[in-house]
Structure formats: structure tokens, C-alpha cells
Amino acid sequence: MDPKSQRVKLNDGHFIPVLGFGTYAPEEVPKSEALEATKFAIEIGFHHVDSAHLYQNEEQVGQAIRSKIADGTVKREDIFYTSKLWCTSLRPELVQPALEKSLKNLQLDYVDLYIIHSPVSLKPGNEFVPKDESGKLIFDSVDLCHTWEALEKCKDAGLAKSIGVSNFNHKQLEKILNKPGLKYKPVCNQVECHPYLNQSKLLEFCKSHDIVLVAYAALGSQLLSEWVNSNNPVLLEDLVLSAIAKKHKQTPALVALRYQIQRGVVVLAKSFNKKRIKENMQVFDFELTPEDMKAIDGLNRNIRYYDFQQAIGHPDYPFSEEY
Ligand code: NAP
């Protein structure tokens, strides 16, 4: 099989490609860049595309996917597309309408994966980030088990082939797994994961329940966005990563991506730059040694770029738990 087509089996029988194309960019980046970058990524072999209602680019990402189907580059079934249910739609009655809205923007009949973007429920409405006069987030109160049941209905309706979660800690996953009458287990937990936050305990927990861990910010993000804590060190300047990269005649970015694939993690890489999109595909061209893997494991220092600090105090804020 073409190594670029490497996939892993999800617990519901569907397959997810191990390398995914991330599409999140800060608001000031023109949405047309998401269109062009996604088209290019599909042309050079990315079969897994990650977006979300929050990113406000599903129109362009959907257009890119459809245009690459129309010109014969891929078939719909070759593409694995993930969308996410935003925090303002976690009430069960809002779940299917939110997915239908994404599908309308995408102009697709189904998504391959629909995940709860974050366990932190926010006040429903048109604002993505509802705040009160003092600038504090306005929380909502939702039982995540009820949200999950609404996702199960979306799968039964054929609107999502697979369903999962994102930014859940192990206790929140356990709550879903232990829910009486559970019909489908989450297929994945998409979380921040890179050598400075390697999530080894959460990964072990997920593996033991046949849940795939999907890594975001695998390159250490670097986005100048309201969501990213920019006081942290730059991952891709790490000396250990650089030395391993040099040894393999690769780049630190490729080492960071390869690290995830070799430990059984599905990895996302965002780039809107053609040279770097192409470079990221080279993750299949080399292998790290067990010593390299051990050295990278040793870099873990619990640095979280997306800490969602505004949501501290929410009863479902996920990052106060150890894992
Ligand atoms: P990322 O993939 O860690 O990093 C992207 C940054 O690295 C970009 O600034 C990109 O810039 C640069 N880059 C890409 N390839 C490179 C290379 N080969 N060498 C050097 N620099 C490189 O960050 P992310 O976008 O924060 O996360 C990835 C994806 O995960 C997102 O796009 C999104 O789809 C998803 N995500 C999900 C959540 C969630 O809550 N579930 C949160 C955050 C992100 P250029 O574009 O200039 O190349």
C-alpha cells in the first residue's frame, strides 16, 4: 500500500488516515487561503482534513474537497473529513441542527467524523464566545451524556459516519463510556499533543479503551491567535528535536509529526504554505529509532499552548485534571 495512505481502524469499523491536514487560522487570515491550501493538500496526497464550525471556513474547505472530487483527483470515499460541534450547541436539541449547518456550509451529505469540540458548554446563540459586560465567558450547564446521545442520533441518521470527542480528560471520557445505554463509544479524543505535552497517560487510557488519540498543535502551534498562549517556548526550536532532525536529514517539524505516528497517535499538521504542506507529507519517508523516541519522550514538560484559560471555573473545564 502507498505509505501516504496509512490508516488506522476506529472502534466502529471505519478507518482514519494517520496524517491529517489542519485548517485553523486566526480570523485575520483570508478564508481564501483555506480554500487554496486544502486543494493543494489534497492534490499532494492528504486524505484527512480537519475543520470545525468555529473556524468559519467550512464553506471554503468544503469547496476545496468538492473541487478535487469534481476534477477526478479523489473520490468522496477517499477523503476523511472531520467537523466539530461548538460549545454553544452542546444542548442535545441543538446538536443535529449544528451538524446540518456545517453540512450546508460544506455542501456535503455527511462528515466522516463529528466530535464535541470541547466539554465546556457556553450560552447558546449566535456569538461563538458569549461574554458578559465584564468580559467573562457566559457558561451553560449541559449533561455531556445527553450531548453524546444526540451525537449517536446523528450517526444513526447517516449525517456522521463516526462520532468522537475533543479536549476531554479521562474522567470525562469515562463518564461517556460508563453511561447506561451507551450505543456507540467515542472513536477518538482529539487533544493538544506534542513533545512538550506528550499526553502519555491519556494516550494509555485511550488505547486501553480502543479510542484513537488525535494530536492537534503537534508542531507547537505558533499561531498568533486569541486561543494560543504565546508565552511558551517555541517547540520547533527545541535543541533535542533539532539534533534528531539533523541526524535523519529531516526538519524538527517532521520529527515532531513522525514521533506521533510511531506511538500510535493520529496527527494533524496545519500549514497554508505550499512548501511546508509538501514537506509535512515526507513524514512517511523516514523512521525514528527507539533511542530517538525515548529522547523525545524526555522532552515532556506539560506546556499547553491552547489552555482555554477563560473557561477556568466551568464545572467541565477539562485541564485541571492531571490527564
Ligand atoms: P500546528 O499544526 O501545531 O502548527 C501549525 C504551525 O506550524 C503553523 O503556524 C504553520 O505555519 C507551521 N508549520 C506547519 N508545517 C511546518 C513545517 N513543516 N515547518 C515549520 N513550520 C510549520 O497547529 P494548529 O493549527 O494549532 O493545530 C493543527 C490543527 O489541529 C488545526 O489547524 C485544527 O485543524 C486542529 N485544532 C484543533 C483544536 C481542538 O480544540 N480540537 C485546537 C487547535 C487546533 P504555516 O501555515 O505558515 O506553514
Question: Is the CB of 81 within 6 Å of ligand 1?
Answer: no
Question: Is the CB of 271 within 6 Å of ligand 1?
Answer: yes
Question: pLDDT exceeding 90 applies to what percent of the chain?
Answer: 94
Q: What is the pLDDT of residues 243-277, one digit of tens each?
A: 999 999 999 999 999 999 999 999 999 999 999 99
pLDDT at 219 over 90: yes
Q: CA–CA separation, 191 vs 267, rounded Å?
A: 10
Q: CA–CA separation, 291 vs 283, rounded Å?
A: 18
Query: What are the grid coordinates assigned to 32, written together?
Result: 481564501
Q: What is the pLDDT of residues 28-58, one digit of tens each?
A: 999 999 999 999 999 999 999 999 999 999 9
Annotated catalytic, 55? yes
With the most atoms of ligand 1 within 8 angstroms of its CB, the residue from 81, 219, 260, 267 to mutate is 219
C-alpha 285 – ligand 1 centre gap (Å):
21
With the most atoms of ligand 1 within 8 angstroms of its CB, the residue from 212, 228, 270 to mutate is 270
pLDDT at 163 over 90: yes
Question: Is the CB of 221 within 6 Å of ligand 1?
Answer: yes
Q: What region does 135 belong to: left with phi over 0, alpha with psi -120 to 50, or beta? A: left
Residue that has been written with the C-alpha cell 499552548 in this structure = 305
Q: Mean pLDDT of all residues in the chain?
A: 96
Query: What are the grid coordinates assigned to 94, written together?
Result: 441543538
Closest CA to 108 of 30, 45, 51: 51
Question: Is the CB of 38 within 6 Å of ligand 1?
Answer: no
pLDDT at 101 over 70: yes
In this structure, are residues 259 and 291 in contact, taking their beta carbons and an 8 Å threshold? no
Whether pTM exceeds 0.85: yes
Q: CA–CA separation, 232 vs 222, rounded Å?
A: 9
Q: CA–CA separation, 193 vs 119, rounded Å?
A: 17
pLDDT at 320 over 90: yes
Question: Is the CB of 295 within 6 Å of ligand 1?
Answer: no
